[in-house]
Amino acid sequence: MGAFGRDTSNKRTRIWTRGSATVVAFVHAARKRRRTLVIGAVIAAVAAVVVAFGVTRYLRAEAATRVVNSYGSLSTCLLGAPLAEGELPSQRVRAIQLDAVTKSDLTRTGDAGAPWPDRCATEAHKLAEGVGASALADQPEGEKLLAAAKELAISLEQKSAFFSDLSAPVDALFGAATTANIALGDPGSVPAAPAGNPAPGLEGLGKAVVGGSLDLDAISSTPPGPALHFLVDDVDVPESPFICRVTVEQLACHRIAQPAAAAKGLRLHGGATGDAEPLVLAKAGVYRAATGRAIDEDAIGVAAHHLAGDVALAVTDLDGRLGLLEAEGDDTSKGTLFVSGDVLAAKRDVLLLGEHLFVLTLDGDEVTLHTARYGERGMGRLEKLGVLEGAAPDGEAVFPRVEGCSSSRSLAVRARVGERSYVSTWDGKAWTAPVPVDVGAAVFSCGAKGASLTRTLPSRDDSRLGAKLVHHACTEKSCAPSSADFGKLLVGEPGLAPEGLVEAVGLGDQVMLLWRAGQRGGLRLRLAAMSKLPEADDRVLLDDLRDGGNILAQSGISDLRVLPGDRFAALLISTARGLSVATVDADGKMRPLAAKWP
């Protein structure tokens, strides 16, 4: 036993010693494994963070690339070529709209697959998605760009986008992109915007003749002829009273001198030959426009004409008796005119057209046109040109009116009573028998072969396309009528129907139609022979919604008046800038004129 015990004790000791080493080794191994696992976990975690960071960075880099490229695509789609220095995006869009409003959806689509600007909504959405996924989304400028892209996309999705005011959302987006320093990336295969219309804005009219608001109806003018004159007598205009002479390329103005400037009710009623200036009539007094000197300070002038040289004629009305003033230099002679045995009680109107005098009388139910001619021996005797059958109105309180026109090739006169007119032309030796025509208010002008009467009639219903253009081409034998309503003139372009301003005049053998097209179509011109007018192209003379760098909410043209001349027309345009003058020639070319003052 003792031997076993010793052996056992030693064995146990040996066994325990070996077991202790094994346990210690296990513990160490376990600790090593834990360290390895911890280190592996840490490494894995770090790797995961690095990978996640790399992926995020890659995704954001990809989003940033999308932002740049989608911005380039949107710019190309909406604006076309990059903007010029100082050009606003809204100005480019507005210029493209001026052309787009004349086209159908199919025409605006072309080969692009969708019409402009509707197709650009997709590019705006892509830009918004790119910004939202990029690092920009966490920055204030990115938030603004994201909001602007979404708002523009919504605006472009509207069916009315091609004629709506997109100024605010367009400028907001491109402004936000500039603030965020976004470059124009590769637009890819996105179809570019169509070319814009190069029509000038109101700034294209140049410096106004005078500032302030004027009533254009209060401006008096000379009859249509090779040179036109107009007179402004308005106490609210500092330069008033003044007179201007308009030719196709020049505008010369000067203030009326004393004593004429102090006279009340200054107006023009008659023209001038060659380079002469017309006479100015007042409530009392007849004056020379060039010098302001009086021909007669007490006479009540009813018509006047300044002939070539220094000879001036004026017809006066004193106590119902017509008188004639003949002035040459400082010498003035006075005479009396007798009308058909001195018909003093008749209603009448008087016109001096060059050396030709006309007196139109309405006495009871008889309307008579009288004429006389001035020559070396003075004014000839008044004779009846004709009794105008059917002209007397039935109990209407109307007055007879007589007006004339001249060109380098024709001379004509119109007598009007109510809604009926009579046109007579000069054949070089005598006046032709008056030709009747059922036209009242109309613009009378002379062309190559005679005269014309042109007017627009309002629509009979609420449709602006129901307005009608009526034109009468008059020769020595007849006045041929023709007409076209705006529904025919603007087939497929209902959005260009007249909005307020409409003017039509005969210009040579053509008809010139000017109108403000809808709310956003600009001031448009159509010029052609009447038979070809429906097929003629429109031309935008002025973008009335653009003034310099500003896009206006409503038209900047408050009033428009057209004065027909010889192969050109003068446009008197009233804007917030004041009174501007431009001419349009027989080829449709517009020339803004800067006034020359002494």
Cα–chain center distance at 212: 19
Sheet holding 286-288, edge to edge: 279-281, 286-288, 294-296
> What does each C-alpha distance from 8 to 4, 20, 168, 282, 541 come to in angstroms?
6, 18, 103, 153, 124
What local confidence, expressed as pLDDT, does residue 101 receive? 82
97 contacts 89 by C-beta, under 8 angstroms: no
303 contacts 314 by C-beta, under 8 angstroms: yes
SS (H, E, C) 353-411: ECCEEEEEEEECCEEEEEEEEEECCEECCCEEEEECCCCCCCCCCCCCEEEEEECCCCE
Sheet holding 411-417, edge to edge: 401-406, 411-417, 420-425, 435-437
What local confidence, expressed as pLDDT, does residue 56 receive? 38
506-531: b (≥16 Cβ within 10 Å) or e: bbbbbbbbbbbbbbbbbbbbbbbebe
169 contacts 157 by C-beta, under 8 angstroms: no
What local confidence, expressed as pLDDT, does residue 408 receive? 87
554-592: b (≥16 Cβ within 10 Å) or e: ebbbebbbbbbbbbbbbbbbbbebbbbbbbbbbebebeb
- In whole angstroms, give the CA distance from residue 497 to residue 423: 32
**Considering only CA atoms, which of 126, 110, 19 is closest in space to residue 67?**
126
What local confidence, expressed as pLDDT, does residue 212 receive? 86
Look at the block and give the residue holding tokens 């005797």. Answer: 381
417 contacts 362 by C-beta, under 8 angstroms: yes
Q: Which two tokens stand for residue 353?
A: 């057209």
Q: Coil, helix or strand for 100?
A: helix
399-428: b (≥16 Cβ within 10 Å) or e: ebbbbbbbbeebbbbbbbbbebbbbbbbee
Cα–chain center distance at 357: 40
Q: What is the dihedral of CA 298, 300, 306, 312, to 10 degrees?
A: -50
Q: Residue 550 belongs to what H/E stretch?
A: strand 550-551
Task: Find all residues with CB under 8 Å of 113, minimum gap 6, and list them.
Answer: 119, 191
Cβ neighbour number for residue 282 with a 10 Å cutoff: 22
What local confidence, expressed as pLDDT, does residue 547 receive? 93
Task: Find all residues with CB under 8 Å of 213, minimum gap 6, and list them.
Answer: 558, 574, 578
Exposure on the CB side of residue 226, measured as CA atoms within 13 A: 12
- In whole angstroms, give the CA distance from residue 137 to residue 147: 10
Q: Please give the chain's pLDDT, 598 residues, in tens.
A: 333 233 444 443 333 344 444 433 443 544 555 555 545 554 444 433 333 333 334 345 577 888 999 999 999 999 999 999 989 999 999 999 998 887 765 566 666 678 999 999 999 999 999 999 998 899 999 999 999 999 999 999 999 898 899 999 999 999 999 999 999 999 999 999 998 888 999 999 999 999 988 889 889 999 999 999 999 999 889 999 999 999 999 999 999 999 999 999 999 999 999 999 999 999 999 999 999 999 999 999 999 999 987 899 999 988 778 889 999 887 888 877 765 544 555 688 999 999 999 999 888 778 899 999 999 888 988 889 988 987 766 655 678 899 999 998 899 999 999 889 999 999 999 999 999 999 999 999 998 889 999 999 988 877 778 889 999 999 999 999 999 999 889 887 777 888 888 999 999 889 999 999 988 899 999 999 999 999 999 899 999 999 988 899 899 999 999 999 999 999 999 999 999 999 999 999 999 999 999 9
What local confidence, expressed as pLDDT, does residue 16 receive? 33
Cβ neighbour number for residue 174 with a 10 Å cutoff: 24
Q: State yes or no: cis peptide before 241, omega within 30 of 0.
A: yes
